[in-house]
Amino acid sequence: MPQAFETHALTDPELSERLRQSYSELLALLTALGSDRAAEHLALTLGLAGLTLTGNLTAAEARAAIRSGIKKRR
């Protein structure tokens, strides 16, 4: 469902701007909390969330993917 909303929002200038601003604010918060790779971590998390919700990945597989990505970049 979130992907459907975002796809629709991108076709509407007002919704698109609001969506962009919301992600910018979230990235700023993650950066303020100490994430030096906020955009990368958010992108990974959003992608894994969708696959987990659809049952294509288990929660354990998603956590392992995140931990693996973090370890590779340290």
pLDDT 10s digits, 18-50: 988 999 999 999 999 998 888 888 888 888 887
Taking the domains of the chain in order of start, what are their residue ranges?
Answer: 2-72
Provide mean pLDDT across the span 3-19.
86
pLDDT band, residue 53 (cuts 50/70/90): confident
The C-alpha torsion from 32 through 37 and 43 to 46, rounded to 10°, is -50
Q: Which pair of structure tokens corresponds to residue 38?
A: 């906020």
Q: What is the pLDDT of residue 41?
A: 83
Per-residue pLDDT, 67: 83
Which residue shows structure tokens 């700023």?
28
What ranges in the chain are assigned the alpha helix state H?
A: 2-9, 13-32, 38-53, 59-72
pLDDT at 73: 59
